[in-house]
Amino acid sequence: MVNIINNTARLLFGALLLFGSVLNSKDVSASTFLFCLNSSDSVLSIELEKESFKLDNKQLNQILHDIGVVTIQEWIPGATEKDRHGDIYLNRIYRAFIDDNENVDNVMAKLESAYPLLYVEHENLHSLHYNPNDPSYDQQCSMSSVKADKAWDIWNIPEGIIPEGQEVLLASVDTGVDYTHPDLKASLWVNQAELPEWSLEAGIDLNGDGYVSSTEIEEFLIIEGMDNNADGEVNLRDLVCEGSGFLDGFDADGNGYTDDIIGWDASGYYANSPADPDPYPREGATPTGTWAHGTHVAGILAATTDNGVGISSASYNAKIISVKVSRGSQPSEPGISDGYAGITYAAKAGYYSGTLAIINNSWGGGSYSFSENTVIQNAHDTYGAVVLSSAGNGDTAQGEYSKEYPAAYDNVLSVCAIGCSGAWGGWATYHETVDLAAPGESILSTIIGQGYEAWDGSSMA
């Protein structure tokens, strides 16, 4: 039914971060499931009504209502006919929400027997796993452990000859990033094509080199006094807040995402926002809590190095793109709600900006999914992305070191966490699907606000 490609040569990248998860009955959603139309079927037109929905496909519309589906939505917003793997088209996969009184397995079985679909499958749940404990380079054992300092010696950094890594886009598909952090804001990726024409005419390119950096944007906002969100402070949050003049409503680069100047919130606030270009973590989140995970990950990936502030990163001043995939409406401990939509966005962001996307996914769980696999292969085959993921934290229902997803999909680089000494602590998943090992214990990195903390966990590897 589905053509699954063989594993091809994998590209390596040292700064991998992961979460890992557990496959058991709690790792599939009890309130949602996925279904995929055949490639010959037309894409559905969905009209959302108060507490209901209406499809242009009248037969399917009636069936879904009859079996207890209360609403549906696109699983990967922004997907096009180009986004596919074999017979599976991402723009034909939908998430169905069922009535609280219905059993998801029963509803899935009824749909599968009543309408000719390509497939119906459970929606996997994905979660974060790490153990936080507690500014300076000498506190970062991982830098010397992976010999980043030796790599830097290839250049003459004191004389201004530094690694040129800005053409590589490091995407953090996570809980969002505090891109105003002093050690992250200069490393923030800027989608040049999405900057409105008026800002260029107003001189936002302060040094006139034809490239507008995040540092120039912040300085421009300060010079112009643009406190667009009226919080009493002018910073990069004023760039993409609601009502900002930088959000012109046009998808200038044609990647399917409007006004994605510095990244994307694939979950929106309630997971149904048609466009949310602000990938900041949940408002009011605890600076050191789980919502800070994406910020911690971003610091490991691309904290600004050699700037006299905080920490260093192995990539040495590459660019970071934040892709938020945790819903702001969740309780205090977020899960990964829209991780695969985030992967698709990150792959397209790299492709349409003319560079390569290295996509980090510090989370995992569930079992094999046709839908998820299609996202991975589409990112790899169509957009040339390198996808990284966790091997896991052991402790699964299938056995202590079973495979987990997305780490176990073909064309995903899977990494196991070890100590800075190179010793395996026994807690991280070691499995035949693992490709690399990297330090994941006592890793110092950025958190929400201006601070830093050392965290343990496979997420930090």
Which residues is 35 bridged to in the sheet?
94, 120
Which of 92, 123, 154 lies at the terminal end of a domain, its last residue? Answer: 123
Q: Is the pLDDT of residue 18 over 60?
A: no
Tell me the pLDDT band of 144, cut-offs 50, 70 and 90: low
Total count of domains within the chain: 2
Are residues 295 and 377 part of one domain? yes
Please tell me the predicted confidence (pLDDT) of residue 332: 67
Are residues 377 and 351 part of one domain? yes
Are residues 167 and 35 part of one domain? no
Q: Which of 253-267, 307-321, 359-373 has the lowest mean pLDDT?
A: 307-321
Q: Is the pLDDT of residue 129 over 70?
A: no
Which of 96, 123, 150 lies at the terminal end of a domain, its last residue? Answer: 123
Do residues 80 and 348 lie in contact, with contact meaning Cβ atoms separated by under 8 Å?
A: no
Burial 341-362 (b: 16+ CB within 10 A, else e): bbbbbbbbbbbbbebbbbbbbb
Are residues 75 and 163 part of one domain? no
Most confident of 43-57, 148-162, 296-310, 408-422: 43-57
For residues 18 and 25, give the distance between their C-alpha atoms in angstroms, rounded to a whole number. 22
For residues 293 and 284, give the distance between their C-alpha atoms in angstroms, rounded to a whole number. 14
Which of 90, 106, 123 lies at the terminal end of a domain, its last residue? Answer: 123
- Residue 321's nearest CA partner among 285, 294, 340 is 294
Are residues 431 and 403 part of one domain? yes
CA distances from 256 to 7, 229, 351 (A): 29, 26, 12
Tell me the pLDDT band of 161, cut-offs 50, 70 and 90: low
Tell me the pLDDT band of 157, cut-offs 50, 70 and 90: low
Tell me the pLDDT band of 11, cut-offs 50, 70 and 90: very low
Residue 232 in domain: no
Are residues 136 and 36 part of one domain? no
Do residues 362 and 391 lie in contact, with contact meaning Cβ atoms separated by under 8 Å?
A: no
Q: Which domain holds residue 149?
A: 131-196+248-460
Are residues 171 and 75 part of one domain? no
- Residue 379's nearest CA partner among 403, 408, 401, 350 is 350
Are residues 377 and 272 part of one domain? yes
Strand order in the sheet with 452-456: 131-132, 452-456, 443-446
Q: Which of 93-107, 260-274, 337-351, 435-449 has the lowest mean pLDDT?
A: 260-274
Are residues 106 and 154 part of one domain? no
Mean pLDDT of 438-459: 84
Mean pLDDT of 167-174: 88
Residue 88 in domain: yes
Are residues 138 and 119 part of one domain? no
Do residues 376 and 410 lie in contact, with contact meaning Cβ atoms separated by under 8 Å?
A: yes
Are residues 137 and 31 part of one domain? no
Percent share of the chain, pLDDT over 90: 60
